[in-house]
Amino acid sequence: MKRWIAIVVIVLVAMAVPQVLNPSGYWMRVFTLTLLFAAMAQAWNLIGGLANQLSLGHAAFFGIGAYTSTILLLKFGISPWIGMFAAGALGGLAALVIAVPTMRLQGHYFALATLAFGEVARVIANVWTSLTGGPGGLSVPFVPPSFAAYSFKQLLPHAYIALVALIIVTVIFEVIRRGAMGYRLRAIRENAAAAEVIGIDTTKVKLQTAVISGVLTAMLGTLFAQVAVFFDPDTAFSAASISIRVALIAIIGGVGTAVGPILGAFFIVPIEELMNDLFSSGAAGLSQLIFGVILIVVILWRPRGLVTIFEALRARLQGRGAQS
Amino acid sequence: MIPAQPLLEIKALNAGYGGIEVLHDIDIEMQEGEFVCIIGANTAGKSTILRAISRLVPNVRGTLRFKGVDLAARTAHDIPSLGIAHVPEGRHVFPDMSVEENLMLGAFTARKSTDLKQRMERIFELFPRTRERRAQLAGTLSGGEQQMVAVGRALMLQPKLLLLDEPSHGLAPKVVEEMHDAFVKIHQGGTSILLVEQNVGLALDVAARGYVLESGRVTLKGTSAELNANPAVRAAYLGI
Ligand SMILES: Nc1ncnc2c1ncn2[C@@H]1O[C@H](COP(=O)(O)OP(=O)(O)OP(=O)(O)O)[C@@H](O)[C@H]1O
Ligand SMILES: [Mg+2]
């Protein structure tokens, strides 16, 4: 009960925030990106948290999503709302193609293999000029503003779309985590040998998870394209600013929990933006350094993620309750 | 009369890992209702036989049939639904799940079953300590209790054939005894058992007959009484 009240309050606050921000201002952009990255980290959380496979290749699905809807819009005038589903289908297919050979790999090997796949996707996007426009990038064409065309005068609607996306991805994550599939994944995570002998098809469950994660990430790539308006292969398929960042957000926030990626995004994205802002004029690289130091401190302080702050708080409150 | 179809039929089985063959020309046959053991020294390939039956060993050649079904054509996750439950070597429980959750997952492939509570009740009767600890996380149980959970989880499937891989390894003598009493009861309840043991004395105590495995070959087979009386077995495994 208390939990539901908390969820409703948080959603209401999130809905109120865009109302007090400048409708097309800097902070609206930060807020929207934070929500999008939270949703992406949540989609990553399926494979990274529930299936316990550290993917560093999610930029592949993200980039495919951004490019698919934008190319469909450019070449055929198809609304990104529809393009988003084509993006999801291709993202799921790409996840299957990547997961089949890599899913048996454990730990670092899986991480490295997915990182390599992400890089391959980036190279392909750079080289396949006739389709993607190559290194020059793509601009989302201007269409008269309307909801059906997914085109708006202000950033404000994007913030709400990102919020809805985050809620949907989080609900999907939670439904999977609590359902039969979540149980299977948990059994595999806790003891792979035992999971095998009780008849869990470990490969199949992990593939299903990877595909769902790929579909969602690609659809979020479409949303990103609509916000960014312009992107090139090196941004949409970036290992550092997409793949690793998304994994980092989930890890800093708390892997395998629904709250973790949201906390992680609201911690990392604004700080990163602020750092870039404060130090970009002075010494280049200084912001990166400070950001890195902050990350190290947080990881040392909360190795299992920022979510553990809540556990500690709850324990303390209960302790106090017991005393009085 | 048609001769009864064997429950388990292994003929000229060769199996191994990577390029290395571990089992050579294994012949093992079990009828329904039998309690059979496989004994042998370390690395003889005992676990590999059970793992081959469960299709956890990728490279197998030869005949591998269960009630006439060709196991070689199946994959690991098909095996439980055929009625074969495998308790692997080592204490494989789900550590962060309760005892009850562990048991429930055992019946994972028995989707339609409505009598899971009764099945669990029977396991609690067999291993009373699992009832006391039903809500406890399996990872915090003692070694013996974890092994009881692992066996109980396999029984949740109500298997026709139970594969036990060194279930008493590393347990206190009293727990080992408890465990073997339970196996006798499970067998009396109608489940066929294929038991792998290094503790040869105990294995021959509970099983009706056995196979001796040496370097991946069956070198001897017979009733438990015959094996017990065999000078080679006595010298090599019973230390007499
Ligand atoms: N996964 C594996 N990959 C490669 N070789 C393996 C693997 N598992 C077992 N082996 C090898 O196969 C041989 C037989 O192993 P197996 O585990 O079947 O023996 P065992 O009789 O059960 O021994 P123990 O009594 O020690 O359990 C050993 O030489 C072992 O090194
Ligand atoms: Mg063994």
Q: For B115-142, what is each residue's pLDDT tens digit?
A: 888 999 999 999 999 999 999 999 999 9
Q: Which domain holds residue A233?
A: 22-323
* Mean pLDDT, range B152-179, rounded to an integer: 94
Q: Is residue A17 part of a domain?
A: no
Q: Is residue A3 part of a domain?
A: no
| Helix (H/G/I), strand (E/B), else coil: B195 | strand
Place of tokens 């708006």: A152
Is it the case that residue B83 has pLDDT exceeding 50? yes
Predicted local confidence at residue A1, as pLDDT = 72
The reply to whether ligand 1 has any atom less than 6 angstroms from the CB of B19 is no
Residue A133 to residue A56: CA distance in whole angstroms: 25
Ligand 1, atom 7, lies closest to the CA of: B17
Write the DSSP symbol of residue B83.
T
Q: Is residue A1 part of a domain?
A: no
Place of tokens 């009764």: B118
Residue B182 to residue B184: CA distance in whole angstroms: 5
> B106 vs chain A: nearest CA distance in angstroms?
6
Beta bridge partners of B193: B35, B162
What integer best gives the mean pLDDT of chain B? 92
Which ligand is in closest contact with the Cα of B213?
1
Predicted local confidence at residue A324, as pLDDT = 45
Residue A225 to residue A91: CA distance in whole angstroms: 15
Predicted local confidence at residue A322, as pLDDT = 56
* CATH code: domain of residue A113: 1.10.3470
Contact A309, A259 (CB under 8 A): no
Residue A67 to residue A73: CA distance in whole angstroms: 10
Ranges assigned E (strand) in chain B = 8-17, 20-30, 35-40, 59-66, 69-70, 84-87, 161-165, 192-197, 209-214, 217-223
Ligand 1, atom 28, lies closest to the CA of: B43
Predicted local confidence at residue B199, as pLDDT = 86
User: How many CB pairs (< 8 A) connect A and B?
Assistant: 59
Could you identify the atom of ligand 1 that is nearest to the CA of residue B45? 18
Could you identify the atom of ligand 1 that is nearest to the CA of residue B198? 25
How many helices (H) and strands (E) are present in chain B, helices listed first?
Answer: 10, 10
**Of B147, B72, B83, nearest in space to B110 by CA:** B83
Q: Is residue A43 part of a domain?
A: yes
The reply to whether ligand 1 has any atom less than 6 angstroms from the CB of B42 is yes
Predicted local confidence at residue A292, as pLDDT = 86
> How many domains does chain A fold into?
1
Does B93 sit within 8 Å of A198, measured CB to CB?
A: no
The token pair at A39 is 């949703």
Ligand 1, atom 23, lies closest to the CA of: B43
Look at strands B20-30 and B8-17 and give their pairing. Answer: antiparallel
Instruction: For residue B17, count other CB atoms closer than 10 A to its CB.
Output: 12
Write the DSSP symbol of residue B2.
P
Residue A70 to residue A84: CA distance in whole angstroms: 9
Q: Does B79 touch chain A (CB under 8 A)?
A: yes
Residues of B in contact with A52 (CB under 8 A): none
Predicted local confidence at residue A69, as pLDDT = 98
Q: What's the predicted TM-score (pTM) here?
A: 0.90
Q: Is residue A14 part of a domain?
A: no
A191, A199, A201 member nearest B94 (Cβ): A191
Residue B227 to residue B213: CA distance in whole angstroms: 12
- Optimal mutation site among B100, B108, B113, interface A, most CBs of chain A within 10 A: B108
- Optimal mutation site among A52, A183, A186, A191, interface B, most CBs of chain B within 10 A: A191
Q: Is residue A2 part of a domain?
A: no
Predicted local confidence at residue B133, as pLDDT = 95
A187, A193, A200 member nearest B88 (Cβ): A193
Residue type, position A218, single letter? A
Ligand 1, atom 4, lies closest to the CA of: B17
Residue B155 to residue B119: CA distance in whole angstroms: 8
B56, B87, B154 member nearest A196 (Cβ): B56
Place of tokens 């465990």: B179
The token pair at A265 is 């995004």
The reply to whether ligand 1 has any atom less than 6 angstroms from the CB of B45 is yes
Q: Is residue A16 part of a domain?
A: no
Phi, psi of B83 (to 5 degrees): 105, 20
Q: Does B90 touch chain A (CB under 8 A)?
A: yes
Q: Is residue A9 part of a domain?
A: no
Contact A121, A237 (CB under 8 A): yes
Residue type, position B103, single letter? L
Show the low-confidence residues of chain A (pLDDT under 50): 324
Is it the case that residue B59 has pLDDT exceeding 90? no
Predicted local confidence at residue A282, as pLDDT = 62
